[in-house]
Structure 1
Amino acid sequence: MTNRIDYFEIGTPAPEATKTFYSGLFGWEIGPPSEAHYSMVDGGAGGLWDTTAMGGGSWAIFYVHVDDVADAVARAEELGATIALPVIDNGDITFAHLVDPLGNRFAVWRPNNTD
């Protein structure tokens, strides 16, 4: 199903403090970081990204599952969005982070293997 929110992500330059906060508040299980400094939350419901290596930004965003990431980015730009993180294909998924005209960060994504 496309055009639905089905993932969330928290970007933080303080991953241990962030893990402590959200685990304490919601009881979330937050796994160990990958080589890309990314930890899965509750077995894949979301992710926690250590942003230290990419400038230390902080965000909490939702991901919208789309049919075509590049097309969604182009349409978003036509409607006034700006690109925060350009289209990335990490092998498993293709995604991009955008900022809507009011300053809210969000993302679009799709799995690469649609079988």
Structure 2
Amino acid sequence: MSAPSVDRRIDNIEFAVEDIARARDFYGKAFGWTFTDYGPSYCEFTDGRLTGGFAKGGPVSPGGPLVILYADDLEGTQRRLEEMGAPIVKPIFSFPGGRRFHFTDPEGYELAVWSAG
């Protein structure tokens, strides 16, 4: 049996935090999450099923964590969103492990789309 596709599915949740060590301590003790550090400004967590991250430096926004979707074709997905009128608030950029961009939906929520390629 083949694994289900991850294309165009929620793949990651990212929390903007002021203090990564404090976030690690809290979620580790409260929920037993495990962590992988990627430098001083980013830490990945896993709860055993879903991965996510703590990103330092971004403002903590009342809208909650950043929902991140995966797309096999990052440029094609960005083009499709632009054609639908979705504002691109952060154009495609590289990060350790891939590339991503951010957009806002019609309600004003900011989401991101990433690709490993």
Where does residue 92 of structure 2 map in the other structure? 87
Q: Pairwise CA RMSD of aligned residues?
A: 2.4
User: Aligned pair count?
Assistant: 107
Where does residue 57 of structure 1 map in the other structure? 59
1:111, distance to aligned residue in structure 2 (A): 0.8
- Normalised TM-score (structure 1): 0.74
Does 2:45 match 1:41?
A: yes
Q: Tell me, in whole angstroms, the C-alpha distance in 2 between the residues paired with 1:83 and 1:21.
A: 33
Structure 2 counterpart of 1:75, which letter?
Answer: R
Greater shift in the superposed pair: 17-26 or 89-98: 17-26
Structure 2 counterpart of 1:66, which letter?
Answer: A
Residues 2-58 of structure 1, C-alpha deviation per residue, up to 9 Å, x if partnerless? 1111222112233334334433442222344515x110102881111112xxxx322
Q: Alpha carbons of 1:103 and 1:22: their partners in 2 closer, same or farther (altered >3 Å)?
A: farther
Q: Tell me, in whole angstroms, the C-alpha distance in 2 between the residues paired with 1:25 and 1:82.
A: 37
Where does residue 21 of structure 2 map in the other structure? 16
% same residue? 28
Bigger Rg, structure 1 or 2: 2
Greater shift in the superposed pair: 74-83 or 96-105: 74-83
Structure 1 counterpart of 2:56, which letter?
Answer: D
